[in-house]
Chain A
Amino acid sequence: MAMPPEPPADPSATPARRPGFAPDAGSAIPRVFDRALIARRRRTAIATAPAGTDFLVDRVAEEIADRLAPVARRFDTAVAIGGPTAAIARAVRDSGKAGRVFRADVFAAGPDEDLPADLVIDDEVPPFGPASVDLVVAGLTLQWVNDLPGTLIQIRRMLKPDGLFLATFVGGDSLSELRQAFLAAEAETTGGVSPRVAPFVEVRDLGGLLQRAGFALPVADQDRLTLRYATPFDLMRDLARMGAANPLAERRRSLTGPGLLRRAAEHYQAANGDADGRVRATMTLVSLSGWAPHESQQKPLKPGSAKMRLAEALKTTENPL
């Protein structure tokens, strides 16, 4: 398919990474997300977002609270990676499972009188020493890291033995309706397409990623939500207010014209409209948990160490091979 020529890249969008230290320097990790842009959007969202736009982070905080509740141990030191609100840190604090909770906001500190941010971090390069923390919780941030395996390895290293990592973020087929609507509208109006909705990680890949990062007892699952909006424009406005508008490095840099937006909204409405005129949007929250290995954890026995015959347990007769 013929692609329209790319306008020159915005120089302000490529951060002056220091050679040798940037996590993506000299490696083959594709830079899918424009992290400097995400940082600017996060700051704008903190300064301008009206009340009510933080419903998704609140939902994620509930999810994390539900996952912490049945955990049968206490954690001395916890880091809650999140923002722009204090919802994630508050969920960890109110669980009663953690002693000291450090609220680490990604890219910018959101205000909160009751539970202010303790530090500001880039979750691609968490600034915590090896084996320094007992509990790490990441809420609604990991969907935008370029190198998820690398980030998971760094989180694994900051955990003490028998430390726990919990994360919930956007994944799966989230916003697939919006992606389809833009693809259809853009192909019609410009004869080409450009990336507008981020690719999301599939839950089936996450268990393996956790294991490769060195986590014991890895678990990954997902919760598929359906959001309903009066019009597709309300969905787009909500995403923008959350600082979640198109974060892709390879996005088209020119402004999206009103004609294309209108056409995308028409496609959206036609494919995902309900009888009452409202439109559906899929939001899939993927959740993962993993433990830093410790000898107290359950693990498989050595082969040949069984003290009972399988045939006895199954009440059957063993047939020699």
Chain B
Amino acid sequence: MSLPPSLGNRQAGAIDPKLLEILVCPLTKTTLEWRSDRQELISRSARLAYPVRDGIPIMLPDEARSLGDDE
């Protein structure tokens, strides 16, 4: 998805820091870890990784990836 250049907080690979500040895991309401290399928001307590697509966090438990044992 291409976005107009005026939306500075939407460049690929970035999330608005203000949004990151208020986001938590929807299931456990605990803090999330932002992994920019994988474009994922990690919930340690729920063992889930929420995908971030085109800079938009998809905070749906049904679309989250279950963390592997070594993660």
Contacts and interface: CB of A to CB of B under 8 A. Distances in A.
Interface of A: 15-18, 21-22, 36, 39, 77, 100, 102, 107, 109, 113, 116-122, 125-130, 132-133, 157
Contacts of B19: 102, 118-119
Interface of B: 3-4, 7, 10, 16, 18-19, 21-29, 31, 46, 48, 56-62, 66
Nearest to A120: B58
B8 to A, nearest CB: 13
A117 B56 CA distance: 7
B59 A119 contact: yes
Contacts of B48: 18
A39 B62 contact: yes
B61 A125 contact: yes
Contacts of B3: 116
A125 B27 contact: yes
B55 to A, nearest CB: 9
Given A15-B62, A36-B62, A21 B22 contact: no
B22 A119 contact: no
A122 B7 contact: no
A15 to B, nearest CB: 5
Contacts of A36: 62
Nearest to B28: A21
Contacts of A113: 4
Contact of B29 (A15, A16, A129, A133): A129
Given A21-B61, A39-B62, A116-B3, A127 B25 contact: yes
28 contacts: A15-B62, A17-B61, A18-B27, A18-B48, A18-B61, A21-B46, A36-B62, A39-B60, A77-B18, A102-B19, A116-B3, A116-B7, A117-B56, A118-B16, A118-B56, A119-B23, A119-B57, A120-B60, A125-B27, A127-B24, A129-B22, A129-B23, A129-B31, A132-B21, A132-B22, A132-B24, A133-B22, A157-B29
Contacts of B28: 21
Nearest to B54: A109
A122 B57 contact: no
B23 A127 contact: yes
Given A122-B60, A125-B27, A130-B29, 15 more contacts: A18-B27, A77-B22, A100-B18, A116-B56, A118-B16, A118-B56, A119-B19, A119-B23, A119-B58, A120-B58, A121-B26, A125-B26, A128-B22, A129-B24, A133-B22
Nearest to B51: A120
A109 B56 contact: yes
A161 B39 CA distance: 33
A47 to B, nearest CB: 14
A121 B61 contact: no
A154 B57 CA distance: 19
A15 B64 CA distance: 12
> Which of A17, A126, A128 neighbours the largest number of chain B CB atoms within 10 Å of its CB?
A128
A119 B22 CA distance: 12
Contacts of B62: 15-17, 36, 39, 122
